[in-house]
Structure 1
Amino acid sequence: MLTQVAIIGAGPAGLLLGQLLSRAGIDNVIIEHRSLDHVLSRIRAGVLEQGMVDLLREAGVADRLGREGLVHDGVGLAFGGALHRVDLKALTGGNTVTVYGQTEVTQDLVAAREALGRPTLYEAEDVALHDIDSECPRVTFRIGGEARELRCDVIAGCDGFHGISRRAIPESALTCFERVYPFGWLGLLVDRPPAAHELVYAHHERGFALCSMRSAERSRYYVQVPQDERVEAWSDEAFFAELRRRLPAEVAAAVVDGPSIEKSIAPLRSFVAEPMRFGRLFLAGDAAHIVPPTGAKGLNLAASDIRYLHDALREHFLDHSQAGLNGYSARALARVWKAERFSWWMTGLLHRFPERNAFEQRMQQAELDYLFSSQAAMAAMAENYVGLPY
């Protein structure tokens, strides 16, 4: 098999890159080791920055997003028993965020790819990358026991933190930066209306909590738990009781219980691998970086990587210029590190860190107090939350 771009991974990053390349007339094949059903069933967050919404429109996959997405002009922060609001739209000159689940984004991208008739090879086993530092890289894999080989000009590694793409780069060629946090998020998905019409982030002495949503009828709630906590230890009743303890009274009263349709614990880490290119292999999304979910940046960072990589590939194939490919890693990492900083700051601001002493706890409280006493501080938070420009 021959193609111009081999895309490893059929998550949102790989699918979005494939959609943009296909619309530009650049041939591409996606290779995914999971089944289509598994890809479509993965439940992830879905707070989309303005830039990502615009990019999905450019890709021609925003019709349902426009009908069903929930546009949020602000976000709530709760501490000291009181709820405060950050007016994102007013503080950023009109920018907003849109709540639209990552599962929905994936479904829209899969449908668009099928409509274009572009190939996605699911349930690929023993995927391996070869000759990535040459001008003729290859991908080998097996489907249904049959050995196959895909020859290409460029490989895009969009297969996540645990995928094979980053591991194909020699360790000596990568520098990795990591912070693992001493807690996780216990999340519960329930088919009940949200407790508030905007997201509410809560700082509490018992730990962080978040009231989020996937739609007007489906809510997603989180509470901070120790790193070694087990999801089996939490009944739905225990979860909702703990959630309410950490929320201001008016928000807690609006939480509607219901049987969970999904419950899991997500560990928190910050991670960056530099550079995001080795030879003809280009990393994008979680393959290159991870952020704690506090700042809602994971999916959005993947989208900005794809924006930069798509631009670079267009220059390469259509304009016969190497400038974009040569500058991709530096361009993407400049935005990655700013998002890492914001997610790290939000995590430090809102969570309870067991190792913090009394002085550090007071500094955390002072930071929260300052945020809502300074228009400049709130504007800086709002600018980062809605997403820095590409």
Structure 2
Amino acid sequence: MRRRALPAHDGSTFPRTREDAALRTQVVIIGAGPAGLLLGHVLHRAGIGFTILEARSREHVLGRIRAGVLEQGSVDALTELGLDADLREHGLTHRGIHLQFEGARRHIDFVDLVGRTVTIYGQQALVRHLLAEHERLGSDIRFELADVTPLGLDGSSPRVRATDAGRAIELDADLVVGADGFHGVCRPAIPGLRGLERSYPFGWLGILADVPPSTDDLVYALHPDGFAMHSMRSPEVSRLYLQVGHDASIDDWSDARIWDALQTRLGVAGWTLHEGEVLEKSITPMRSYVASTMAHGRLFLVGDAAHIVPPTGAKGLNSAIADVVLLGRAIVAGLLRGDDAGLHGYGDAALARQWKVQQFSEWMTDLLHVHEGPDAAAREFAYRSQVGRLEYVTGSRAARQSLAEQYAGLPFTTE
């Protein structure tokens, strides 16, 4: 990749008149979710100019509620960038998870097994902190843009067109990064890209409840009625999930019905699930998706723009952070040192890691959810097989260690 001399980024905002409607920066990031915002901080630290474009409003970006478990590597990446102040104050460090089946709960101790932890810290809180730090720095971030279109991706001068408050604008850049999620404009801009996916015949009904957590570490439960999970968002707020049919309607699930199902599926002798006011509830479909490539010319994809995992393994947000770490290193090497090897190899490296993440997420999902069969005997066979697998996983140190290694997070490397 051939470098061009570039002016230093001066923190200037988008043009407000047609006369200066052409703007230049080194990297255009499309999408102001956690991946786009974090990459902006990586580039700022290296002195690389960037502009972040977002189709949604600032309020919408801050209001999206998503994942809440950070791998050790994600925490380390935020700490290295000096973005861990709020995480240290509000994050809840956990040393493992509980696997529950046949009325018994067994603990998988990550610290004992692999010397690593995970941290409960909601994506919403992370986005809020990353955006606040960008505002403190005076970063160039624009919300509520229309008709965002990446162009010239095959050549040496990519650009992005958009409409800002009714005015046409165009950004020239060295690189364009698609951090605009599954429904964004960047992945469709790659010719010949194929989507590889799997849909599951069930979803998660999730609630946010105004009640302190009833558990120390997260609980994953297999029950004949379906999967259930007890997580948390803070010492005062609990996050709980139930397996429901893929076509289930939230209107059919009253608060009382939800709590009854949670009590049944999570109940064990000598333990009490405390109930509280349901603040939010929604149903999320379960699916896996991986784009056949994460790079094309001068366009690079990160996060949900390239892949989606079922939430069972807590890998969605962590995968986005891993992409950003890999791509950030490659951009710094390419634009500052003229070493383009990382940029040329980013797509393959990110996909190699992502497929490892995908298999773990699929394994966890298949292990812990009740599967329908053609008849009662087939359903029971599948359930008893799952119990056998859980007996093995919880009874074998080698199996527990494998689970812990993957759940706490694979390295953010190109190997």
Taking structure 1 as the reference length, the TM-score comes to 0.97
**Following superposition of structure 1 onto structure 2, how do residues 1-390 of structure 1 map, counting pairs within 5 Å?**
1-92=23-114, 94-170=115-191, 172=192, 174-250=193-269, 254-355=272-373, 357=378, 358-390=380-412
Contact 1:78–1:248 at 8 Å: present in 2 too?
no
Contact 2:224–2:383 at 8 Å: present in 1 too?
no
**Partners in 1 of 2:400 and 2:297 — Cα distance?**
42
**Partners in 2 of 1:48 and 1:257 — Cα distance?**
26
SS in 2 for 1:187: strand
Shift of 1:187: 0.3
SS in 2 for 1:241: helix
> What percentage of residue pairs aligned between the two structures are identical?
51
Contact 1:83–1:248 at 8 Å: present in 2 too?
no
**Partners in 1 of 2:165 and 2:300 — Cα distance?**
28
Give the counterpart letter for 1:325 in structure 2.
Answer: L
Contact 1:178–1:271 at 8 Å: present in 2 too?
yes
Shift of 1:250: 4.6
With over 3 angstroms needed to count, the CA separation of the structure-2 counterparts of 1:250 and 1:110, relative to structure 1, is: farther
* CA offsets 1:39-81 (integer angstroms, 9 cap, x no match): 1111112100000001111222101111211100111010001
Question: What number of residue pairs does the alignment pair up?
Answer: 386
Shift of 1:378: 0.5
Contact 2:267–2:273 at 8 Å: present in 1 too?
no
Q: Which sections of structure 2, spanning at least 5 residues, go unmatched?
A: 1-22
* CA offsets 1:78-124 (integer angstroms, 9 cap, x no match): 000111100011000x2000001101110110011111111111001
* CA offsets 1:304-357 (integer angstroms, 9 cap, x no match): 000000000001111011101001011111110111010000000000111372
**Partners in 2 of 1:303 and 1:136 — Cα distance?**
27
Match for residue 20 of structure 2?
none
Shift of 1:143: 1.7
Give the counterpart letter for 2:290 in structure 1.
Answer: V
SS in 1 for 2:127: helix
Q: Which sections of structure 1, spanning at least 5 residues, go unmatched?
A: none
* CA offsets 1:143-197 (integer angstroms, 9 cap, x no match): 2111111111101100111111101111x2x232100000000000012101201
With over 3 angstroms needed to count, the CA separation of the structure-2 counterparts of 1:36 and 1:250, relative to structure 1, is: farther
- Structure showing greater radius of gyration is 2
SS in 1 for 2:286: strand
Match for residue 14 of structure 2?
none
**Partners in 1 of 2:60 and 2:128 — Cα distance?**
12
Taking structure 2 as the reference length, the TM-score comes to 0.91
Shift of 1:362: 2.7
Contact 1:156–1:283 at 8 Å: present in 2 too?
yes
* CA offsets 1:15-42 (integer angstroms, 9 cap, x no match): 0000110111000000001111111111
Question: Over aligned residues, Cα RMSD in angstroms?
Answer: 1.1
SS in 2 for 1:76: strand
Contact 2:206–2:239 at 8 Å: present in 1 too?
yes
